[in-house]
Amino acid sequence: MDFEEENRMMVEYQLKRRGISDEKVLNAFLKVKRHLFVPKNLERSAYDDCPLPIGEGQTISQPYIIGLMLQLLELKENDVVLEIGTGSGYQTVLLVEIARFVYTIERNEILAQRAKSKFEELGYKNIVLEVGDGTKGWTKEKVEFDGIIVSAAAPKVPDPLFSQLKVGGRMVIPIGSRTFQRLHKITKLEDGNMKVEYSDGCMFVPLIGEYGW
């Protein structure tokens, strides 16, 4: 199977033709191969237009949804990003191809270890991964983030995450019920308030934790 061609077609038909136009995002998708982040028995489906199971009751998101979230983040090359929900590590690697450094939190120890091994195997140094409650944000030390991306559905914006955004920083998060959500883009204003913009409807697994479900 020609994964290179499958990936190119995915970028053209699933991303570009649906309005993903940020060149940094598109180039990251062209470089990072999705089949490396799915179970071996699902490799042939890696570039399909759908989420796929990765074990532990979790999924790797549909490529378009990841592309949309990354585009909404409006990342620059020197940005520092917090990712909530490492999962397979696919989105983490896409992020680090665009931004300078990624902090990522995964609550499931098995998925975290798999992702960490994958980062090492692929030679990524500018990622730090912790196992814990992502709804609390990064608790090991004080860090303010240019961007925060949340890969699970929350009932509302978790306060600790918003507090860790820089002024002008953006958070992209699915908010709604356990069965249906809408992507929200949250920007931290100079007065400390939040600007909220709404994007596509979506369906994510619930964000479990003290400030989630």
Asked if residues 128 and 119 have their Cβ atoms less than 8 Å apart, the reply is no
Return the structure tokens found at 59.
């999924």
Q: Give the whole-angstrom CA distance, residue 176 versus residue 24.
A: 29
Name residue 154's beta-bridge partners.
175
Exposure b/e, 68-87, CB count within 10 A at least 16 = b: bbbbbbbbeeebbbbbbbbb
Return the structure tokens found at 95.
């992020």
The active-site residue, picked from 61, 88, 117, 151, is 61
**Beta-strand pair 165-176/181-188:** antiparallel
For residue 45, give the 3-state DSSP assignment. helix
**What are the φ/ψ torsions at residue 134 (nearest 5 degrees)?**
-65, -20
61 is catalytic: yes
Radius of gyration of the chain measured on its C-alpha atoms: 16
- H or E element at residue 64: helix 63-73
Q: Give the whole-angstrom CA distance, residue 7 versus residue 120.
A: 22
- Catalytic positions: 61
